Amino acid sequence: MGFCFVHAADLHLDTPYEGVGTASPAVAEALREASLGAFDEVVRLTLERGAAFLLIAGDVYDGAERGVRAQLRFLSGLRRLSAAGVPVFIVHGNHDPLGGWPGVREWPAGVHVFGASEVEVVPVERGGSVVAHVHGISYGRRDVTEDLSARYHPTTAPGLKIALLHCNVGGDPTHAPYSPCSLDDLVRPGFDYWALGHIHLHQVLHEGAPWVVYAGGTQGRSLKPSERGEKSVCVVHVEGGAVRRVEPVPVDRVRFAAVEVDVGGLDDLGSLRARLQAEAESLRVSPGDGGVVLRALLRGRGPVHADLGCAGGVEGLVADLRTEFEGEEPFLWWESVRDHTRPGLDLDVIRARDDFSAAVVERADALIAAEADPGGFISERVLPQAPRKASGLAQGILDADARSLVADARALALGLLEEESVSCT
């Protein structure tokens, strides 16, 4: 008979969200409650799906200090699961090592917190039969540089073999190298499922015999790339004594997102504002009943560059966008608009002049023309000057499209030569 279990990680309960201090009171309150609400959703989902058990792969709390509010909310959720007869298995990670302050020292029946001295193995019963064995070890301190996966040895007893671990597989540079290991270290006979935590993006690193899975965080914590987008837990489906399917299910209460807009073709701030509004509306559909914290990155060239450069241009745009979405549910909060635009370039105007920029355009035009050989020019004049390590890469780019390369170089050169002071009159 089949069953499912839930794999969660990186709850970071009571995350402070210090980077959004300018948010409105309503948004600030939603952010304060987001990580706690996400855990409430984990509990609700576990009960709704009739899961056999819940796994939590480290970083329950955001710090070793473990705030009172976080600990009591966690205890409340575990009591609900215990009352329903759902076992919970927990390892602690680098943010919440076992040495931190425990304001709660007694857990409900069915909750097992793994120690830090050795890998423990705990059987899971369902309907009078053992259906799984959960192997786990917690961090005793924050800076664990040992490959803890080497300590895991699957039991020979019947049932699904699960390894619960907080670690960095493959040296992910976006997270600290705590308990570093390679995928080859985990893909070895014996285990059926590695339930991993530490990396905040959901990833299936290996599918089947064994499954190696990062659940991802339950709630985004900032606008860093790894914290953006949907945050979820995994509902793991077991049939015939083997994992058959891993289903990511979103549980986040607030979503962090970033949009990138090219201002080319936009005539003024009004058209830019309309474009940003459209981008925001498209994002509000996906989070369901959760809010969105949004950042915009503006790139490209055009007349909007000068408008944004006028006194209060960017600040005024952000204020207007915030007002536009104020009071709506679910909320959308514009964290910032980052201006990386450049002035527009009119090549015909530059060609008509008698200056250095016109000479650059003339030379580039000749190279791009059908009868010219831009590849030959670059091979003779540019590649010999390239560092040895870069020459192979440069040749590969050249072989792909020499004329496009010259056009890009022309735009770069003119951008540096034609930088102009902004006129707001």
Q: Which of 265, 239, 267, 234 is closest to 251 using CA atoms?
A: 234
Whole-structure pTM value? 0.81
Q: Match 């570093």 to its residue by tokens.
A: 180
The rounded distance, in Å, linking the Cα atoms of 312 and 318 is 10
DSSP state letter for 312: T
| Helix, strand or coil, per DSSP, at residue 217 | coil
Phi–psi pair at 42, nearest 5 degrees = -60, -45
The rounded distance, in Å, linking the Cα atoms of 148 and 272 is 51
The stretches of 290-368 forming alpha helices (DSSP H) are 304-309, 313-325, 347-351, 356-368
DSSP state letter for 227: G
Encoded amino acid at 399, one letter: D
Per-residue pLDDT, 321: 94
Per-residue pLDDT, 285: 57
For 166-194, how does the pLDDT look when each residue is reduced to its tens digit (9 = 90+)? 999 998 887 889 999 999 999 988 999 99
Q: Match 């839930």 to its residue by tokens.
A: 6
Write out the DSSP string of 361-416.
HHHHHHHHSTTS-HHHHHHHHTGGGS-HHHHHHHHHHHHH-HHHHHHHHHHHHHHH
Quick one: CA dihedral 350, 353, 357, 363, positive or negative?
Answer: positive
Encoded amino acid at 20, one letter: V
For 24-80, how does the pLDDT look when each residue is reduced to its tens digit (9 = 90+)? 788 888 898 999 999 999 999 999 999 999 999 999 998 766 778 999 999 999 999
Residue 253 has which token pair?
């209460």
Query: Residue 138 burial (CB < 10 Å; 0-12/13-18/19+)?
Result: buried
Q: Which of 56, 62, 54 is closest to 94 using CA atoms?
A: 62
Number of Cβ within 10 Å of residue 153's Cβ equals: 13
| Residue 58 CA to its chain's centroid (Å) | 17
DSSP state letter for 90: E
The rounded distance, in Å, linking the Cα atoms of 75 and 53 is 16
| Helix, strand or coil, per DSSP, at residue 319 | helix
Cis peptide before 330 (omega within 30 of 0): yes
Cis peptide before 16 (omega within 30 of 0): no
Which residues in the chain come in under a pLDDT of 70? 18-21, 64-65, 100-101, 285-289, 346, 370-402, 408, 411, 415, 419-425
The rounded distance, in Å, linking the Cα atoms of 116 and 165 is 12
| Residue 202 CA to its chain's centroid (Å) | 9
